[in-house]
Amino acid sequence: MGSSIYSISSLSRRGFLRGAGVGATVAVLSACGANERSVTSSATPTKGGTLTVLTSDTDINWDPGRSQGMAVTSLALVHRRLTSWRIVQGKEAKVVPDLATDTGKASNGGRTWTFTLKDGLVAEDGSPITSTQIRHGVERTFTASLAGGLGYHKTLLDGTSGYTGPYKGQHLKSIETPDDKTIIFHLKAPFGDWPWIVSMPAFAPVPLGDNPTTYTRKPVASGPYRVADYKQGVAATLKRNPKWTPSSDDVRTALPDTIVFSLGQESSVVAQRLIDDSADDHNSFGADMAPPARLPQVTSNPQAKARLAVGSAGPLQYLAINVERVKDIKVRQAIAYAVDRKAAATALGGEIGAAPATTYITPGIPGRQEYNLYPESTEKAQKLLNGTNVGQLVLLVSNDEGTMALAQAVGQALQKANLSVKINPVENETWVEKVTQSDGSDYDLTIASWNPDYPSANANLQPLFASSEIGSGGFNLGRYHNAEVDKMLSDVAALPMDEAKEKWAQIDRRIAQDVPVVPLVYRRNAFLHGSGVSGFFVNPFPAYPNYLVVGAQGR
């Protein structure tokens, strides 16, 4: 489910660092203090006009069954779900009702969840939005041709083994629709984060009788916008959906009359256009992160700098230690003490590029607690290693510029602690295979990035540290297996969200004691927008703009 963390039209949790600028730009960026500016646009929110989203993507998939998109990006303009996220500047993300009247009622010890739809919901084609359409939307994700979307529900719902979708008349017994407004989900085990799960694209209504091969181009909208025109590789144009009722929707402001996704745009060219802020570009923003090579030009220009939204933190970049090869915990602790997080941040552009990281749970996630078990100390690292023959450590990394810069910073810090490190750069596809599919024999250390799919600490911790996530495409890159931690993860996942918050922080610290991963930095995502764009800000989570509240206006 991987994709670059630089594009947000198809965001996923597994982001691999791409093209982070290094070298001459670092000193300039650090000195400019771009992150000191407000991260929100100053334009007055105005209803109407055309908003343009400039993206390097050459295609946008509008089929919710195949989407990995977050609840605040492109797909959510067209498709509503049972719940959504309330993203307010400076506040933690909150799960809120969307199509449903509430965030779900749990019963049967947390194994059963019931949702009731709001009154008067109507789709773009004039048909009532029903519980059966939502069930169909979920069931069709089990069809082989619709693989690739976020699939948490596939492992959480009961009785899904062998199920291949609804198109031959088969339905999941674990999803009940006793009437048009009620939908009931039966889970394999209690899961307190289910209200977050039903905010994912799969829980958008899809009318029965859809054609799964063409629905990505001709979706039936439940949100404030419909896909009015689509030109492959050129543009996707959204127009207002007249059947959408603002009184039923608390998260979408739907300010622009038209939203145009301009496809296949080169990010450096986009940055220059937004710096110039001429013609229609004043009502545009970049879907991709601002290229680091352009940032000195941005920060030296007061007008452009005022239109650079920079998050205070974001996705976690980390050093995974293969515990099956680096078995001595004292060696792993020494690595943690030896790592120079400030040098790692500098490698990614200084203050504007990244912030030093000390926890696995990322900023902006409810329940996160700040701590640092291993503050930088080369002396402590050397003391722990005294008399230990570690041998040469192989640091396997994807060979893109940003990851290589991090690898060099990590290697230099470990060498100061008398650890020998061999950096082994490979193509990204090879890296993914070696760290997620193989037996882990090719590396002692590796560098990766993680952005959770939804705002829960469970989405930070379970994918990275549950033993079930070792190999077979899982992302437990430290190959960490601890029965105590597995039980803690399972037990806390069963709790209601409010009860789980503090316990997630405790698990974060417990895992850190075993040092399967060393946090390096929280990536600071930076995005440019035109002077006519309103409601544009970047929170620590999701670390990307909230498309649902962005507006445009004339000069």
**Which DSSP string corresponds to 265-317?**
--HHHHHHHHHHT-GGGGGEEESBPPPGGGHHHHHTSHHHHTTEEE-S--SEE
pLDDT, tens only, 449-465: 999 999 999 999 999 99
Buried b / exposed e over 239-278, threshold 16 CB at 10 Å, is: bbbebbeeebbebbbbbbebbbbbbebebeebbbbbbebe
Would you say residue 145 has pLDDT above 50?
yes
Which DSSP state fits 546? Answer: -
pLDDT at 35: 37
Give the residue from 141, 173, 203 where a domain finishes.
203
> pLDDT band at residue 15, thresholds of 50, 70 and 90?
very low
Residues 373 and 512 in one domain: yes
- Whether 353 maps to a domain, the answer reads yes
The DSSP bridge partners found for residue 227 are 238
46 burial via Cβ count (<10 Å: 0-12, 13-18, 19+): middle
pLDDT at 41: 66
What CATH number has the domain bearing residue 72? Answer: 3.40.190.10
- Whether 48 maps to a domain, the answer reads no
Residue from 485, 457, 490 nearest 360 by CA: 457
Whole domain around residue 351: which residue ranges? Answer: 316-523
pLDDT at 44: 85
Residues 196 and 338 in one domain: no
Would you say residue 132 has pLDDT above 80?
yes
- Whether 42 maps to a domain, the answer reads no
Give the residue from 157, 172, 203 where a domain finishes.
203
Residues 323 and 460 in one domain: yes
* Tally of structural domains, the chain: 2
- Whether 153 maps to a domain, the answer reads yes
Q: Quick one: tokens of 217?
A: 């181009």
What's the pTM? Answer: 0.90
Lowest-confidence range among 6-20, 80-94, 202-216?
6-20
What residue has token string 């402590």? 380
Q: What is the mean pLDDT of residues 114-138?
A: 97
Element of type H or E holding 527: strand 526-528
> pLDDT band at residue 292, thresholds of 50, 70 and 90?
confident
Q: Quick one: tokens of 62?
A: 């509008």
Would you say residue 431 has pLDDT above 50?
yes
- Whether 299 maps to a domain, the answer reads no
Would you say residue 492 has pLDDT above 60?
yes
What gap in Å lies between CA 265 and CA 242, rounded to an integer?
Answer: 30
What gap in Å lies between CA 276 and CA 76, rounded to an integer?
Answer: 30
Lowest-confidence range among 294-298, 377-381, 392-396?
294-298
pLDDT at 349: 80
- Whether 395 maps to a domain, the answer reads yes
Q: Are 65 and 212 in contact (CB under 8 A)?
A: yes
pLDDT at 102: 98
Q: Where are the beta strands (DSSP E) in 158-257?
A: 175-179, 182-186, 225-231, 235-240
Greater pLDDT, 232 or 18: 232
Would you say residue 494 has pLDDT above 90?
yes
Percent of the chain topping pLDDT 90:
87
pLDDT at 500: 95
What CATH number has the domain bearing residue 517? Answer: 3.10.105.10
What gap in Å lies between CA 86 and CA 94, rounded to an integer?
Answer: 5
Would you say residue 405 has pLDDT above 70?
yes
pLDDT at 11: 37
523 burial via Cβ count (<10 Å: 0-12, 13-18, 19+): buried
Q: Are 533 and 37 in contact (CB under 8 A)?
A: no
pLDDT at 40: 54
What gap in Å lies between CA 104 and CA 386, rounded to an integer?
Answer: 55
Residues 512 and 372 in one domain: yes
Would you say residue 552 has pLDDT above 90?
yes
pLDDT at 554: 58
Give the residue from 203, 238, 267 where a domain finishes.
203
Would you say residue 34 has pLDDT above 80?
no
Residues 192 and 339 in one domain: no
Would you say residue 377 has pLDDT above 50?
yes
What gap in Å lies between CA 9 and CA 545, rounded to an integer?
Answer: 11
Apex 89 CA angle, 85 and 90, nearest 5: 110
Would you say residue 3 has pLDDT above 90?
no
pLDDT at 43: 80
- Whether 379 maps to a domain, the answer reads yes
- Whether 544 maps to a domain, the answer reads no
pLDDT at 300: 93
What gap in Å lies between CA 57 and CA 39, rounded to an integer?
Answer: 25
pLDDT at 9: 36
Lowest-confidence range among 31-45, 218-232, 298-312, 349-363?
31-45
pLDDT at 314: 93
First to last CA, the chain: 41
Q: Are 465 and 516 in contact (CB under 8 A)?
A: yes
> pLDDT band at residue 42, thresholds of 50, 70 and 90?
low
Task: Please state, rounded to an integer, the average pLDDT across all residues of the chain.
Answer: 91
Q: What is the mean pLDDT of residues 379-407?
A: 95
pLDDT at 36: 36
Apex 85 CA angle, 82 and 87, nearest 5: 160
Q: What is the mean pLDDT of residues 156-163?
A: 97
Would you say residue 423 has pLDDT above 80?
yes
What gap in Å lies between CA 73 and CA 94, rounded to an integer?
Answer: 16
pLDDT at 183: 98
What residue has token string 């309103």? 534
Would you say residue 19 has pLDDT above 80?
no
